[in-house]
């Protein structure tokens, strides 16, 4: 087998094949999915010596137009710092130094502060296009990475020593051999389904309505999680005094808030804020998405690894989903790079199991935590209401309890990847 190194470039349908002498393009690793998680994995392996192919169904520019925002944990910031991206990303996102937790109209409001954790910040809010652009720009200098974009993976044939991929690029079909295929292709992962990997979990009785507002008063860089009996209501501060909101409610109620006129919707938001943010302005369309909890029965099998939403999904309460996927990516990168340095086959199941053992239980912990939060607070059963408000009261008074909750929410529990860099150096 002959492997070739190519400078990173975007391969359009009209681009010539980089392997001009052969119909086969050979790589060590193929990543199916060029979203944030797939790009993070590629960036983490940029200097690994592995030959990598990214396969993405959407044009490169598609991610530049998405204005969805994500809560980013301190660990995610440390990972981006370790990748050398933080100096570019940080000025374009919001740093929040306070998290406010509230339960409907209860006076037991908990304000979590950096001193509870001993850090300078509690987290960040970054928009999709900011993260994608930074990751893509970093890969432009990579000499060991190619991108087929837009392209569709039609079939994966798992063999003893390689995976043969059938990839469609416009009207052209190519055969590609790789030692390992990584599925970063989302919650409905066709790769996972075709490989026969089962999942466990459930669809929630809720959907989320999300949009961006601009309040009259300053959001003061406060991240808010206000629990209502219909579901969590999150407010994430964005640059330009904007806020991304995520309103969780039963399906019918969520559909109602999606379709009512702007004035009625803003009146409901103002009621939930109790007028504290002043007059509100909608600055983006409203979108609705259902939510689910899902954990794959396994993250790996022969010459295949799942990362991000392809492996697991959780309720959006606490903003953990993308952060788990980013941690998957760098954990897998560390395992693969170590195996490569030891001259081991990166597609061997013994190698891939190291990644699964690292991430599966840690992810399950967060899935369980977010499920517990949603079920406990999306509830008006009086005994449970009393217990959870006592819990919030205890959190107000007990710093060790606040510290435990913050360590879990900010990604400071579990095993840290080697490339994570202390943020004190870049804040």
pLDDT of 19 reads 38
Q: Is residue 222 in a domain?
A: no
Using an 8 Å Cβ cutoff, are 349 and 301 in contact?
yes
Using an 8 Å Cβ cutoff, are 88 and 212 in contact?
no
Blockwise average pLDDT, block size 10, the chain, 427 residues: 35 40 67 97 96 94 85 97 96 96 85 92 96 96 92 96 94 94 97 97 96 97 93 96 97 97 97 94 95 97 98 94 97 98 96 98 94 85 78 83 90 92 62
Q: Is residue 287 in a domain?
A: no
Q: Is residue 162 in a domain?
A: yes
What does the DSSP 8-state code read for residue 415? P
pLDDT of 6 reads 33
The domain containing residue 150 runs over which residues?
10-64+132-200+293-371
CA dist., res. 327 & res. 366, Å (int): 12
pLDDT of 311 reads 98
pTM for the model stands at 0.91
| Other CB atoms within 10 Å distance of the CB of residue 371 | 17
Q: How far is CA 70 from CA 62, 181, 317, 366, 380, in A?
A: 17, 27, 12, 16, 29
Query: Of 131, 42, 56, which Cα lies nearest the Cα of 323?
Result: 131
- Tokens 């961006």 sit at which residue? 212
CA dist., res. 238 & res. 236, Å (int): 6
CATH of the domain at 141: 3.50.50.60
Q: Is residue 181 in a domain?
A: yes
CA dist., res. 83 & res. 18, Å (int): 27
- Tokens 């990584």 sit at which residue? 182
Q: Is residue 422 in a domain?
A: no
pLDDT of 424 reads 57
Q: Is residue 343 in a domain?
A: yes
Tokens representing 86 are: 């933080």
Q: Is residue 367 in a domain?
A: yes
Question: 183-240 pLDDT, tens per residue?
Answer: 999 999 999 999 999 999 999 999 999 999 999 999 999 999 999 989 999 999 999 9
pLDDT of 392 reads 83
Number of domains the chain contains = 1
Q: Is residue 327 in a domain?
A: yes
């Amino acid at each position: 087998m002959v492997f070739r190194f190519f400078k990173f470039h975007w391969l359009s349908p009209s681009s010539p094949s980089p392997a001009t002498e052969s119909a086969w393009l050979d790589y060590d690793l193929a990543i199916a999915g060029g979203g944030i998680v797939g790009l993070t994995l590629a960036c983490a392996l940029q200097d690994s010596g592995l030959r990598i192919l990214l396969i993405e169904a959407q044009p490169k520019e598609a991610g530049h137009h998405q204005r969805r925002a994500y809560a980013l944990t301190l660990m995610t910031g440390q990972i981006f710092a370790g990748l050398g991206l933080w100096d570019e990303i940080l000025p374009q996102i919001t740093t929040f130094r306070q998290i406010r937790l509230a339960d409907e109209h209860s006076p037991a409001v908990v304000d979590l502060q950096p001193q509870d954790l001993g850090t300078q910040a509690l987290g960040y809010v970054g928009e999709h296009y900011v993260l994608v652009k930074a990751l893509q720009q970093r890969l432009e200098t990579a000499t060991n990475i190619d991108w087929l974009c837009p392209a569709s993976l039609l079939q994966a044939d798992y063999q003893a020593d390689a995976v043969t991929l059938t990839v469609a690029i416009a009207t052209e079909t190519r055969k590609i051999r790789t030692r390992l295929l990584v599925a970063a292709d989302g919650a409905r992962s066709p790769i996972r389904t075709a490989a026969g990997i089962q999942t466990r979990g459930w669809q929630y009785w809720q959907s989320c309505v999300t949009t961006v507002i601009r309040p009259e008063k300053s959001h003061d860089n406060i991240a808010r999680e206000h629990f209502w009996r219909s579901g969590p209501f999150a407010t994430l501060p964005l640059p330009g005094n904007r806020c991304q909101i995520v309103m969780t409610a039963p399906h019918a109620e969520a559909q109602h808030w999606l379709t009512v006129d702007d004035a009625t919707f803003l009146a409901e938001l103002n009621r939930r804020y109790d007028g504290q943010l002043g007059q509100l302005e909608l600055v983006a369309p409203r979108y609705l998405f259902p939510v689910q909890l899902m954990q794959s029965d396994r993250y790996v099998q022969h010459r295949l690894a799942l990362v991000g939403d392809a492996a697991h999904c959780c309720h959006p309460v606490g903003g953990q989903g993308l952060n788990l996927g980013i941690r998957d990516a760098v954990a897998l990168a560390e395992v693969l790079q170590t195996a490569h340095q030891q001259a081991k086959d990166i597609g061997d199941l013994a190698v891939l199991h190291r990644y699964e053992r690292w991430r599966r239980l840690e992810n399950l912990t967060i899935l369980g935590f977010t499920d517990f939060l949603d079920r406990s607070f999306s509830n008006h059963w009086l005994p449970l209401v009393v217990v959870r408000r006592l819990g919030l009261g205890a959190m107000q008074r007990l710093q060790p309890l606040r510290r435990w909750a913050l360590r879990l929410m900010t990604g400071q529990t579990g095993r840290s990847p080697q490339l994570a860099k202390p943020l004190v150096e870049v804040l």
